[in-house]
């Protein structure tokens, strides 16, 4: 039987470059060799595509591939850019399309679109100061909107890159400027106290139109106020799957994750993050291309459900091929 050639995209010009390299390595290692012929397509930090370790034009990198497994993260990979490139070349790929990807990576736009669905979310203020005068005005807007502590995060990034928690009004300007190193727009939200959770979903998996994996509970290291980029990948946090939530909490998490996936028009799979409080679960953000490293949450949820990564990756590729 002729094998399907799968181009695995990894790397890319984003702040999540290293995570993407590892996600792609997982995909390359776990692909079912009896069905698929993997092809490592590396994208450098400068956006140059490589095949066989050599820089090549995009059409050359894609030539001969039947489908692309998109293991990129963050800007370029999750903001619709690479999806538009693949669409232009008529190449099917895993994950959401260009428009849905762009919307989901924008935390503020995501919250605006989900508001009519009755999903519980933290209050937030979007700021994009270009000078000190505007920064002073934006800081005052935040101060008047809701009390400290505040969570400061780049409005369009993943893996908690650039996220911080500020309890002192005088430190808000520096925190906003720090987040602007990732992107010009910054979302400042009220700090919601509770337990971290995440839920992955997949289309048409195990006979369900939208299948939800067990909610994962994340226990932060020490006195950490939020789940930082470092804590996600240095092994210092503890992930429990299935998480120690009540039946009602699990149902709310699962229902909301499915609702987010459908409302935003996402494809194939996604993973939604939450804070669980006595008042209910607060939706934080959705990941259209969740991490697939050994420390990543979705692979742990897949294994907890009794599936293998090879089975799951095969399913995603089959979904992508059906787009042809």
| Helical axes 309-321 vs 297-304, angle rounded to 10° | 100
Catalytic residue chosen out of the listed positions 157, 273, 296, 314: 273
Pure H helices in the chain: 17-30, 58-62, 81-88, 98-105, 107-114, 132-145, 172-179, 229-233, 247-263, 297-304, 309-321
Q: Which of 65, 185, 51 is nearest to 127 (CA)?
A: 185
Catalytic residue chosen out of the listed positions 12, 124, 291, 296: 291
User: Does residue 117 have an active-site annotation?
Assistant: no
How many CB atoms are located within 10 Å of the residue 209 CB?
9
Tell me, what DSSP letter sits at residue 279? T
Catalytic residue chosen out of the listed positions 79, 285, 296, 314: 285
Catalytic residue chosen out of the listed positions 159, 270, 296, 314: 159
Look up residue 171 and give its two tokens: 């430190």
User: Does residue 233 have an active-site annotation?
Assistant: yes
Catalytic residue chosen out of the listed positions 211, 233, 269, 282: 233
User: Does residue 16 have an active-site annotation?
Assistant: yes
User: Does residue 267 have an active-site annotation?
Assistant: no
Catalytic residue chosen out of the listed positions 7, 10, 11, 16: 16
User: Does residue 285 have an active-site annotation?
Assistant: yes
Dihedral angle sign, alpha carbons of residues 197, 199, 82, 21: positive
Catalytic residue chosen out of the listed positions 22, 270, 287, 296: 287
User: Does residue 273 have an active-site annotation?
Assistant: yes
- Round the CA-based radius of gyration of the chain to a whole number and report it: 20
Catalytic residue chosen out of the listed positions 17, 76, 271, 282: 271
User: Does residue 20 have an active-site annotation?
Assistant: no
Look up residue 36 and give its two tokens: 């698929």
Residues with active-site annotation: 16, 159, 233, 271, 273, 285, 287, 291
């Amino acid at each position: 039987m002729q094998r399907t050639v799968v181009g695995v995209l990894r790397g890319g010009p984003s702040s999540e470059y290293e995570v993407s390299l590892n996600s792609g390595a997982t995909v390359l290692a776990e692909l079912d060799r009896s069905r698929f012929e993997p092809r490592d397509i590396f994208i450098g930090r400068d956006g140059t595509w490589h095949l066989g370790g050599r820089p090549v034009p995009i059409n050359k990198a894609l030539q001969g591939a039947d489908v692309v497994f998109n293991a990129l993260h963050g800007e370029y990979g999750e903001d619709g850019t690479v999806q538009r490139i693949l669409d232009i070349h008529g190449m099917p790929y895993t994950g959401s399309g260009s428009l849905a990807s762009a919307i989901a990576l924008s935390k503020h736009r995501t919250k605006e679109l989900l508001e009519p669905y009755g999903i519980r979310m933290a209050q937030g203020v979007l700021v994009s100061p270009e000078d000190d005068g505007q920064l002073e005005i934006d800081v005052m807007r935040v101060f008047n909107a809701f009390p400290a502590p505040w969570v400061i995060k780049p409005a369009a990034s993943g893996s908690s890159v650039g996220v911080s928690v500020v309890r002192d009004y005088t430190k808000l300007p520096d925190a906003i400027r720090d987040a602007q190193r990732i992107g010009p727009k910054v979302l400042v939200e009220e700090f919601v106290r509770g337990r971290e959770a995440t839920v992955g979903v997949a289309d048409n998996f195990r006979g369900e139109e939208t299948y939800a994996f067990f909610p994962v509970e994340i226990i932060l290291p020490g006195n950490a106020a939020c789940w930082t980029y470092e804590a996600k990948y240095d092994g210092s946090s503890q992930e429990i799957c299935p998480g120690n939530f009540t039946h009602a909490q699990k149902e709310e998490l699962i229902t909301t994750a499915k609702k987010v996936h459908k409302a935003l028009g996402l494809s194939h799979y996604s993973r939604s993050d939450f804070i669980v409080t006595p008042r209910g679960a607060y939706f934080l953000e959705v990941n259209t291309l969740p991490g697939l490293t050994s420390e990543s949450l979705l692979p742990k949820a897949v294994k907890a459900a009794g599936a293998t990564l090879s089975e799951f990756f095969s399913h995603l590729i089959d979904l992508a091929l059906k787009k042809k």
